[in-house]
Structure 1
Amino acid sequence: MSTERSSSRTCGLTLMEVLMALSLLGVMFLCLLPVQSSSLRASRQASEVQKAALLLSSHLHSLKGLKFDQVVEACASRPWSSAPLTIRCTSEPCTVQQLHLICPGFPAQALQVRFSAWKNEKHLLDLHTVIAQ
């Protein structure tokens, strides 16, 4: 009988072994929580930047249909913001000298247009382009 008991004891796990395995798994999961949290934060920020890029690109395309003289006024006067983003549009007159863009420069031969996206006073993205006369 004693041989049957000793052979049956070696087949299973003791309570102590199960508790050690569970505690090891628990420590591993606790180590992974900060990684998961930071990856979610990075994913959320990437999504915000992507939405801002699409919005800025859309605003830039709306300026393409305007005459050169209307771009400065449109950039300054249009309500560009789209909640929760704040969009700022600035334009700067430029000249072209030997294939180089000189900003600021007068008389304006081109405009350097800059769209900036902000969310909760945090800068997300800039989009620059040049619109020639």
Structure 2
Amino acid sequence: MRAKFSYIDDCIKIGEGIFPVLVIENKKLYRGVLSSFLNSCEEDYFVFSEDFKPFEFSKDGCFISEPIFVDMNSRKLLGKLDGYMQQTANDEFAEDTTEVKAAIARLADKLKAFCDFDCEYSDETDTSAIIKLMGFRFSAEFF
């Protein structure tokens, strides 16, 4: 992965075992860069790319402002965990996922039939809704 900082000519390489340090001595520029990361506006100063294809840092990256006190259960990281679980459910546990969706549809049919008034439900149960229902979080023992 590479990052292009608007005030430097060369790209900054980022990867496993590579820990670049960017020192910004200009206080105004430093505040601007820090503020852009805190407000998810990194593109004001940086272009991030993987295999020379730009990507949005706010979607595929995570800015950790306090590395000692990382909130592992922040909304953004939980979204990434849910995305990983959804992909895993669809790829590795497709049969189980299909069975769960069928069971939910059967329950919905029973509830609808039991109801005294006309009602409808969405017959498209997607994996992301099931994963969100499970409420995955990082364990306190993890960090």
Same fold (TM over 0.5): no
> Larger % of strand: which?
1
Which TM-score applies when normalising by structure 2? 0.28
Which TM-score applies when normalising by structure 1? 0.29
**Over alpha carbons, which structure has the higher Rg?**
1
